[in-house]
Structure 1
């Protein structure tokens, strides 16, 4: 469990997302249309030639939890660590609007919403990484949540967002409670990542029963153009 949470990109690519992973030696990444994420088995794993096989010149990818020293020709930039939060007990769920599964028929709406309020890491095929759910109002996608990283025993709550026209109605809270409990009911530990620069979201998750497990390192890795 600790390994899956301490090195979430690699562990997801080496388990639940193995079928789509692009792999070279001790490194693996998601195809760019799924997510800009790369993982390594360990910070000191042998990686000669692995990055070059996976990342195009000028392309940026992101690492979480574990990062090696940047080899020649690469630039590794450390962001402020994220808060990694877990929830280990069922949370109370109030009555709320209907939650509906989202599938390929909703892709344009999902991409429009994430481009507006969750723009950095959601890609055209990100929905292929797990289940996604939403709340609809007036024929529109008002809010959504989904699953992204994970392992046999863990699952990340991700893309928790609300359209600006529908904020203040508790939709993100309702979705997070529901998917958290659904995940726990399947015997899987829900976790999520939130920026310390977003104290409002962090406080919301704490009120919902999540606790900070650790601060986890977050980096960008850029292959300097040849």
Structure 2
């Protein structure tokens, strides 16, 4: 498990946007956000006044918003306001679990699957998901009679670490362990690339945290979450 002081993980969105996912960047040296068509996540380099004001300039007045996700405390200038705040946990894989399904049962999803992926994510709400979210990394799914029943993939990608994300299952197919087997499959793929798998969950989602522990993940530390807009 990474040491709790690992700077790379303290501002994990910043780390992604300054390493492997730079091609999605909007912003500069003090504050950055993903292209909003791809992902709503954003981050500042630190909590300096200059960085926070730079973040404010990246958010358009009105309905535009960003998600902040970091272990460091979230501070906001007067020009920004948090619509919602929450406490989450960042979990890293410490005990790899072997795949529980044969490769033939899990399929790599393609651009042709995006409408179904968006529909499934809209129904089950695993986290922010748009038609361009799959550009962040590969997704896999399980289908029944040609219908997408469950999926999981990768999202944040930084030096040495890749996030397991978008884990969801259609209500009609719950109870079959599909989310678990897909999570194991994606984690195995991440390890094969030489990275440590990690994921996020809300701190009060005890059921999800218990499941992820069974899949070999442990809590690295709590993280702060906020949905932020321009004030006024």
Shift in Å, 1:33 = 1.1
1:180 and 1:56 map into 2 onto residues whose CA distance is 36
TM-score (norm 1): 0.92
Matched, 1:74 2:61: no
Distance 1:183 1:215, change over 3 A: same
* Structure-2 residue corresponding to 1:153: 160
Matched, 1:4 2:8: yes
Question: Does the 8 Å contact 1:24/1:53 carry over to 2?
Answer: no
Where do 1:202-217 residues align within 5 Å? 202-217=209-224
Question: Greater shift after overlay, 196-205 or 206-215?
Answer: 196-205
> Which of 118, 121, 125 lines up with 2:125 in the alignment?
118
Shift in Å, 1:180 = 1.1
1:156 and 1:140 map into 2 onto residues whose CA distance is 26
* Structure-2 residue corresponding to 1:63: 68
Distance 1:172 1:52, change over 3 A: same
TM-score (norm 2): 0.89
Question: What is the Cα-based RMSD across aligned positions, in Å?
Answer: 1.9
* Structure-1 residue corresponding to 2:178: 171
Q: What secondary structure, in the 3-state scheme, does the structure 2 residue paired with 1:80 have? A: strand
Distance 1:61 1:125, change over 3 A: same
* Structure-2 residue corresponding to 1:223: 230
Question: Greater shift after overlay, 20-29 or 91-100?
Answer: 91-100
Structure 1: 5+ residue stretches without partners? none
Distance 1:173 1:88, change over 3 A: same
Question: Does the 8 Å contact 1:40/1:67 carry over to 2?
Answer: no
Structure 2: 5+ residue stretches without partners? none
Count of residue correspondences: 225
